[in-house]
Amino acid sequence: MSETILYGYWRSSATYRTRIALNLKGISYRTVGVHLLKDEQVQPAHLARHPSGRVPILEIDGHRIGQSMAMVEYLDETRPEPALLPRDAVLRAHVRDLKDQIVADIHPLNNTSTLARLRGQFGADDAAIASWYEHWIVRGFRVLEQMLPAEGDVCVGHEVTLADIVLVPQVANARRYPQIDLSQFPNVVRIDAALKKLQAFHDAAPEQQPEASQQ
């Protein structure tokens, strides 16, 4: 079997969520760093891996996949245990609803390419960037807070799902901006804290990656 390689940036939330999924599935993999702040993602070596010029890129089973959720879903389809989607169709839809609140509505507005465009085209300074970031985090987390259960350690039901895999990296992003008061989102904070105690989540955290000690 070919080696599994995850090309990504240690602090990237999309790379983070893919590490969680790989860990949950018990898949051994090697990481290859692609430094976003040095624009390594748009260099020929990385573009040869996938034309998107983004991270992560997952090389697995002789294939390369260029979107984190496509990676996670591929892992769930090819390594079905533990399952990352409930069997019940209504619960599956709820998991996907929660997942897309983050993947579609929060993350794209705050990723590095969007923030770079705000700086380069519109002259946004650090204060403006922080205000932009806070707006979309708070708006999105208000939605999540109402959708999440008032008790329990996971987003839906009693098992880890796709929703949990994307929630934890997004909360980590929010914590990088201390002006964002997360105490107004007790359901988000409670579930995040519980999930981070799980080994798969703990080991995937940015601060546990070798690159973190080099910063």
Read off the pLDDT of residues 179-191 as tens digits, 9 standing for 90 and up. 999 999 999 999 9
Q: Which of 66-70, 169-173, 211-215 has the lowest mean pLDDT?
A: 211-215
- 36-67 per-residue burial string, b: 16 or more CB within 10 A, e: under 16: beeebbeeeebeebbeebbbbbbbbeeeebbb
Contact 95, 89 (CB under 8 A): no
CATH classification (class only), 5-82: alpha beta
Distance of CA 19 to the CA centre of its chain: 9
Distance of CA 205 to the CA centre of its chain: 10
Q: What's the CATH number for 89-201?
A: 1.20.1050.10
Indicate the DSSP class of residue 210.
G
213 confidence band (pLDDT: 50, 70, 90): confident
The ranges assigned to domains in the chain are 5-82, 89-201
Residue 215: the pLDDT is 61
For the chain, give the percent of residues with pLDDT over 70: 99
The tokens for 145 are 């807070």
Q: What is the average per-residue pLDDT within 144-159?
A: 98
**How far is the C-alpha of 215 from the C-alpha of 210, rounded, in Å?**
10
Residue 173: the pLDDT is 96
Residue 214: the pLDDT is 77
Q: Which of 138, 141, 168, 139 is nearest to 154 (CA)?
A: 168
17: alpha, beta or left? (left if phi > 0; alpha if psi -120 to 50): alpha
